[in-house]
Structure formats: C-alpha cells, structure tokens
Structure 1
C-alpha cells in the first residue's frame, strides 16, 4: 500500500496531497460472504477509504474467551479492503457507541461490583489491556507503516460526550503506542467546546462528528486543531430508528449539498454510514435521555446502500459529487445480489416455553432476583419464578426495577406486561401496571424479562439487565426464586409437537416451527405482519427482533443464511399471532 503521512493542513499519500473520502461499513453488521460486495460498491462510488469500528463484545463474548473467526474475522475484512486498494481507518476503542449493544462493551463487565466504565479505573483498564493484548497484534501487520492498508486508528470514541478523564485517554493512547501502533492516532467528538475539551488529547488528531453546517463545525474544530488537517470523522448522512417511532429518511439532495461543501473546503470526510447493515441477534443498542428507547433490528440508516446492499438514489447523487473532486472508477460495480419471493411459510409445530424450560436452561436457586450479568448471561430473556402464600387481596406487582420489559404470569397464566418506561415503584396500581389476587392455596408468580438492548450512549450506560433489585406484591418483597437464564443461543434441544388449532389461542410465550423450500439462493425479507413481538431464527441463525409497534415490518434474510432444499424457520412469539404463517418477500418494509 501507499505511504500515508501528515504535513501541516494536508494528508499526503506518497508525498502527494490526499483528500480522504471514506465510508463506514461495520463488518459485524454484514454477513462475511458480502464483505467484498459492499467494499466494491464503496470503491465504485469514488471512495478511497473504508472505516470500521471494532466491537469488543463480538471478540470477547465471555471473559478471556476470544473470537476472530467467521463474522468476527476483522483481519479478513481489512485484507479484502487492501485487495481493492482501499485505505482503512480502524476504530478499536473499547467503546464504540454505534447504536450497538452496550456501545460494544462486553456485558460481563457489569458482573463485577463497583465497575466504573470509561475512566482511569484499574479493574476496567485491566480488562481493556487483556483484550488489546490479543487484538492489537492481529492489526500490526495491517498497518500502513508495515505495508498494510490501515492509515489511522482511534484512541476513544466521542469521549467528550461522556467524560473528561484525560489520564484515561492518555492511558489508551500510550497503550496503542506501547503495543507498536505507529500510524496516525485520532479522537472524534461533536463540534462543541465541552466535547472537544473533554475528548481530545495531545498526540492524537482531533476530528469532529456532525451532519450539517460544515462551515460552523470546521470553524469550531479549527480552534482546537489550528495546524492539522480538518476531518469530519462522522458525516451523519442518515439516522437510526427506535421501536415505536417513524423510519428516518434524509433526502439525498441535502446530503449531497453538505458533502459538496465539505469537499470544496479541502477537508476530509468519513460517511457514517456508507452502509448500515443489520443488528442481527440481540446486538441492537438503546438510548436513554428522557426515557429508554431500544433500537430496531434494521440498521438501514437511510445510507448510500440499503440494509441489503442495494444502490440507492443517495448513492448515485453522492457519486456525482465525488466525481467533481476525484476520479470515480468505471465499470467496477458487482452484479446486483438477487432478491426472491419464496411465498408463504406455514408454521406447523410448536413448543411452549413453560414446557421447555428444562431443555433450554439450567435453573438457579437464589434468595433474591439476580441480574443476567451476575448469572453469566449476556443477551436474550430471563425467567424468575417464586411461590406466594395466600389468601391475599388484589395488589400491585412491582418490579424494582425492570430492565427492560417483563411478562407476568400467575400459575403460568398471563397477567400483563411491565415496561421500564412506565412502571411506577409506588403502591398504587396505574392502568398499565399489573395487579394479582392470590387464592387461599397460594400461587406461582413468574416474570419473564426481555433484555431489549443495553444503553449504548450517554450517562445511563451502566445498564444491567433482568430484575436489578427485587419484586414486591403490595409492599412486601418476595424471596426464594428459581431463575432460568434464556439466552436462546441454541434451540436444538426443543421438542416440538403439531399445533393444536382447536379452541382460542392462549397468550403464552411459544416457539413455532415451519419449513420452506429454496430452489435458488437469494436474499429475502421475512414479513411479520399479524405477529406481535418476538424473535425469528432461520436455520439456527438469530435474525433479530420484530415488534408490531414498528416502524420495521420485515426482517432481512441474506442468501448465505439459506440452503438449497429444506430450510427451518423458528419464531419465538411472546404474545400471540393472527395466523401461524409468515411471508418471505423480495422487498423490505422498514415503515
């Protein structure tokens, strides 16, 4: 690869001025079989650089257990970029935000009492060091200074939006240097004084993140970087969606105009995102400002490429702008990936959750409810069960406090749902709260809690899941619990039986299974219309969550997840559906 250097206000490649035009593609949001396709489309649009975060929780899912293969093969992703003569920006910060679960931090950090995140707290830094001791040596051969494509590496991500511990930032910077990283180091923050003051350090280029008003943003950044190149490290050309709100769309004319002004100024830019991809599995994050807001499964982001990698009008408009400032490769675009309508899939078998607990989970006995993290669980669901003596009058069930959404059952009969945003800790039962009467013989109380995604940004990031303190009936705390962790990472032990179509359906969490035939492999989209809330699995792969509140109505199914012949579909539905069938269609519906 070419030699990358910095000289005053300019980047240089082989001693010639270089304007970096970069786009973000997260390898962990795209199936590996499509990495080359997405990178080719990036290059064909005129981009000369690709940027990616590195998600710690992908690579160290359990403490001390590391993974860098398959979808976590960051080295292969970078090697493909190099094969296409793309420069690479790597952002391996322990924290990445990215609307990704816990901002990329591994959930097991929260199992340690007193854990302090993103500061100069030794137990936290010890975990970072253990991770970097494995990660960074993999990246060293790929550095520009060693003949590879990586031209820059981030120290921390938008730290000024979180804290101001300069000793922490310097520790991370020195840690990269000590491990042999000798390419350009940088920080990225919003173009506001408190963010730039809190998030920048000597020895690392300060860059700014914004989506509009580039002149104002670069003027502010220039106050902190008067003698170095100006870079928009995140040009927000779209946005992400939370459950229950409208799908975000930003017109391509506005995006193209702002890019034109950035490039005309001579600054460098990184599109966030070039392609968003998908929060497969349980990896979506959440925000908490005025309330808790989990992110949807799709990370389409209204970016230049759609969630499934298709070229958009925005892509074409941006290519036209880039062509004014740089040569755009001709005839480089790969053949479009086919989409297919596989039609209706009948779900013909079922396995009720309460009948399947011992197949899915090893129960834990505890005096009080424990969080997921304390039990070594990262994602999914967790079921708490206790016995209440009777008789007792109808009284409110209070979860103190629920993270994030709980279904309440008495003797396995559904009573209602408790949600994080509207569940009061007072004795008075509101309309949306759950209250139960206990008969003379007593009753079993079960609470199924769903982790909807740990907070990925801001002051509420310390976000353990499950029941964080206790459960009360009226004012009395309940003790002596049986806890079933339900990460749902292996469903092969489930025993299914034919669906009984007689009588009224019971609103009980249930796994439904069906099969469908595939003659020709193609991308498709699973339409969940008529279903309420749950998770879908194709051939054992967790596609992510669906929820009738939208905006997302379909789940993306990449062709590499399918196989010719029979394919298995399992849906874990929490509440109930209109008919036990779904549709595999050739177009998405994001709301």
Structure 2
C-alpha cells in the first residue's frame, strides 16, 4: 500500500508542474491518463466555490480578485434555477442573474470555471434551487423521471446552454467541466434518471467533460458509469484515492466540496472551525497532489427570501439564516480572514515554480450609521390585497405565490379546546379580533393553542410566513407552504376562509404616514431615512427588533429574527448612496420598535436561547 501511495504521490505531484493561467491561449481540457489535462499538460486545481446570486453584481470582480489572491486558479459555481426562471418560461439572465458576465469576469481575473448548473443544487438555497412553481402540481416529483419535471428541466437547461456554451473552453471561454447532478446518492440511485440528465446537457450543447459529485459513502448510488465522479466531504487522502480508483478506475483525484466550516440556522449556535484544523486537512490533501474545491471560499448572503431549510430528528425544521458567511476564508463582506492567509501559504508551498499569486487587495471598509427613526407607518391590515375565498385553507402555491406571507381569516364559533394547524409551513402569529394571542413555529413543532371563545364567537387571523423550503433530502417532494392541510378547533375542522397574499416582491405599493398609529398586535411596515456623507458597507443592528424583513433603497436585504445567532444584516455599499437613504422594516413581533442604527461589524454569534420555545411549550389562552 505504501508503495502504491508513493507512486500516486509522485504522479500527482507532476500535475502541479505547469502554469495554469486562464488568460493564456488555452483551447483544450480533458480528463485522461489519470490527470486533469490543460492543453495536454497535467494540472492541479486549487478551486473555491462562489455564487454570483449571493454577491451584489457591483462586487463580483472584487470577490473574484480576492479568490485569485488567495492562491486559487479555479472557481466552482452553482446556478439557481429559481433565480433564472422565476416563473414558467420567463427567463432571467440580466442584472445580478447575468451568469455569463460573471464567468467572463472570472476569465479576466485568471480563473478557470467548474460550472454546476444541475437544476438541483442543495446549497442551503430555497428549495435546493428548484423554482417554487414546480409545486403547483402537488403530485409532481422533482429529481425523478416524471415527464412534467423532465420537460421543465430540459427547457431550462436549453436556455442555460444558449447563455453559456459560448464560454466553454473549446470556444475560448473558461468553463472546463459541467456537473449534471449534485450529491444524488443522498436521494436515489436511478441510473436511467442520471442518464437523462447527461443527455439533456449534451443536447443543450455542453460538449465539455461532465461530472457528478458525492461523498464516498453514497457515491455508488450517485454516480453514472462513464461520467467522471468527484468526491465530496472531508475524507482523508487515502479514502479519496481509493474511492476514485474504484469508481473512476484511477485519477485524477478531486475533492469537489471541502468545507472550511458550516452554515447557520435560526435558533442554533453559529458555526466556526479553528484555522489549525483547516490547514492540517488541506495540507494532507495537497501533499498527495489532489485537486480540491473549497465550499465555500466566499459564502456571501441569502438576500431576500432565498434561504433554504433542513429537516432532521433533532430540530424537525431548520430555517437557514440570511448570512451565508460560512466562516469561510473570505467573509461575508468580501474581506480576508486568518483562513485566507493560511490557504495562501499552503498554495505557495505546493504550487509549481512560477505559479503566480496576485497581491491581496485592500480590505473593504465599513461604517457605523447613527440611530434614526422609522417614523412612517403602513398598516398592512388596512391595505389588503384582493381576497381569495375558499372553504379550506389554500397553500402559497395554490394562490400562485412563491414567497413571503399569507393571511388566513375565518370566524370561530363559541367553544373551548385546542386550535390546531396541521402541517404548518412554517411560522405564524395568531390573532383573535385583532389581538395577538400567540405564535406557531414549525421548528419547535408548536402548532396548537388552547382557546376559550365566548358566546358571540370571534374573528381568527393566522398570519403565516414561508421561512424557506427544504433544500436537502427526501422532503424535497413535500415542500408546499402556508397551511397545507387543515385547521381544527375543539376537534372540528374550521372552514370558510378569507385568504390574502403578501409576497412582498417590493414595498412600493404601500401607503406610509407619520400620523398612522401602529396597532400593538398586527405586523407593520415602518419607514425612515438616514444621511450618508460617504458610502461604505454597514451592518444594521436588529437586536431590538423581533422578527421580520428589511429593505434598503428598495433592495430586499433579507430576514432577521431575535432568536439569533445572526443579529445584524449586512448592507453592501453599492446599495447605498450619498445623501438620503431609505429603510423599510417589516416587523411581526415588536411593532412599537421605531429606532434603528448601523454598526461597522457583524454580529453572527449571539443566540437568545431564552427566546427559544421548545416543542413541549403550551399556549393556553382564555379570550
């Protein structure tokens, strides 16, 4: 075994003996003879994952320059189907969705591109990248041979091909490899389905090398014979080599996802990992000449409503935070951390002679913003959209809404007993005649309140939030939002619903007034302005607020929640301007809070455990 590993080490070290400049005239990439070959020469990839949808377009070049200065010669990119086809047949490849421009900038910054447009990405992103409208047909199965899914999938990939096949390496671009499925072994083992994926990408014009990726323990289920299979996770070098020898018949050896830390979820502690662990494992990988893609090199942010969620037995539903900092080498604001410099030194140690690593760009500065008032109010209970009437509750998808909030209202008769919402998705406040009496929370399996309703009955209002669709595992097919089954009171089904959708695609349609008085219990929109003499990044401090969303100059920054661990929201400088800036806050729990300020640093590790309501909590209300 030692002799085999020594031989592999010598062969793999040869892969790093050649310059890999993306801006040189290169026109061929192949996986052959146990190597990644650029114009016939072996190369070792020092790659990092970055997602353009998690970075403001104005910062794309700066982030890619940071990746290159870290010592990397390649990037890996997920594409999110729900970004590029928000509605059936309506394709978006403009602005922050201009993926082709991001790839062109990567080439200008001397980076090769491993493209991962597989419609399923996981990535802690809403529905794993799938568009919500697939769920309008409740029996449609994603990641399957269901013709309805395959047809929608094919149409999307054909559009991706139109955008990106001109940027394949053979056409003068930087794209060297394309992934056809993502960790499929966690989900299934249908080789016919995988072959359909392969054929769709070939039909779309992706004539480059194709690949899949899985950790060693699911790779047998997830790989397609004849397609290169990369390895995910923190496996030791010997396991990486043995796995790819068995599956691929030899090298090249490639860890396509290696994690410098982990993502965060609401209500659980912030994830970090010591730089010593980081360097020790990478050193062992690079020592054997194994190529590696770091997930994430720079995480960025889950702007808007695009965070995903996980599901496990310890916390059945886990909504991910707005920040996707990931304790990565390049932090959420695009600045270097200790891991950045540790990685840079490792590349210097293992890269071939003459390998160029640019100087590190100057860090981006951040500023504090003085406290200011959100003194204009929009009362959403008085500015309702058109009502939808239904005997039984309808899901978000049933009313053609993907994200945001839905208000359900009905009349409750006299009685006493439990109000139970079956299959609540995901969080809500409960009001009786406009008075808030409690909350519902899928994370903690809190779906019931005990009520005593008087003789004349009462108006029940359930204001429900989609906290992000599950992005991983078998629950991908069970991802509808809102009240997805039935509501019971005192053992009887509640019917006769008025339903109002609040997708909050923007907040332009709401009327604000300084004279309006916020009802103490209804969610409210608050608006205010602040002045800047100079524009730099900042972080709005949300610790005095309860739960909701924030917009700055019309940009939907994302969610905040007092439970933590994230307590600030990153505001990139390109979204700000000299002079007056507008902030709008949608608040669900602390409607009286009217003062806000900005810090020059993030708070990502402050968990308010006393606010965490566990699954055994009881809400009993006499009304």
Q: In the alignment, which of 364, 375, 381 is matched to residue 388 of structure 2? A: 364
- Pairing 1:177-576 to 2, within 5 Å after superposition: 177-192=202-217, 195-290=218-313, 291-326=316-351, 329=356, 331-357=358-384, 361-389=385-413, 392-423=414-445, 433-462=448-477, 463-498=479-514, 506-576=520-590
Q: CA deviation at 1:498?
A: 2.2
Query: Which shows bigger deviation, 95-104 or 380-389?
Result: 380-389
Preserved CA contact (<8 Å) 1:530 1:578? no
Cα drift, residue 179 of structure 1 = 2.1
Report the TM-score, using the length of structure 2 for normalisation: 0.90
Q: Report what 2:79 is aligned to.
A: 54
Range that drifts further, 59-68 or 333-342: 333-342
Contact 1:25 1:274 in 2 (8 A): yes
1:307-332 residue CA offsets vs partner (Å, 9 max, x unmatched): 01011110000000011122554554
Q: For 1:469, what is the secondary structure of its paired residue?
A: coil
Instruction: Indicate conservation of the 8 Å contact 1:187/1:204, yes or no.
Output: yes
Paired residues of 2:377 and 2:517 also in contact (CA < 8 A): no
How far does the alpha carbon of each residue in 1:97-133 deviate from its partner, in whole angstroms, 9 at most, with x for none? 0000000000000101310110111111011011112
CA distance in structure 2 between the aligned counterparts of 1:506 and 1:333, rounded to whole angstroms: 51
d(CA) in 2 for partners of 1:296, 1:94: 22
* 5+ residue gaps, structure 2: 1-24, 606-623
Q: 1:95 to 1:490 in 2, by over 3 A?
A: same
Q: Secondary structure at the match of 1:484?
A: strand
Change (3 A) 1:292 1:77: same
Report whether the alignment pairs 1:112 with 2:137: yes
Q: How many pairs does the alignment contain?
A: 575
- Higher strand proportion (structure 1 or 2): 1
Q: Could you report, residue by residue, the CA deviation over 1:473-494 in whole angstroms, capped at 9, with x for unpaired residues?
A: 1111111211111111121121
The 1:98–1:507 alpha-carbon spacing in structure 2 relative to 1, beyond 3 Å, is same
Distance 1:164 1:176, change over 3 A: same
| CA-to-aligned-CA distance 1:8-50 (integer Å, 9 cap, x gap) | 2111112221001110010000000001001111111111101
Q: How far is the alpha carbon of 1:242 from its aligned partner?
A: 0.7
1:175 positional shift: 1.1
Q: Any conservation in 2 of the 1:40–1:332 contact (CA below 8 Å)?
A: no
Residue 171 (structure 1) aligned to one of 193, 196, 200: 196
Contact 1:243 1:293 in 2 (8 A): yes
Cα distance in 2 for residues equivalent to 1:11 and 1:334: 30
Deviation at 1:447, TM superposition (A): 0.5
Superposed CA deviations along residues 412-451 of structure 1, whole A, max 9, x for unmatched, are 11111112244477xxxxxxx3122333222211111110
Change (3 A) 1:554 1:214: farther
Q: Name the SS of the counterpart of 1:247 in structure 2.
A: coil
Displacement of 1:334 in angstroms is 2.9
* CA distance 1:424–1:31, change in 2 (3 Å): closer
Output the aligned Cα RMSD.
1.6
| Shift, 1:379, TM fit | 0.6
Do 2:415 and 2:490's aligned partners in 1 also have CA atoms closer than 8 Å?
no
* Partner Cα separation in structure 2 for residue 408 and residue 213 of structure 1: 51
Cα distance between partner residues in 1 of 2:506 and 2:432: 27
Cα contact 1:354–1:412 (8 A) shared by 2: no
| Match of residue 429 from structure 1 | none
SS across alignment from 1:241? coil
Aligned mates of 2:271, 2:71 — CA distance in 1: 26
SS at match of 1:273: coil
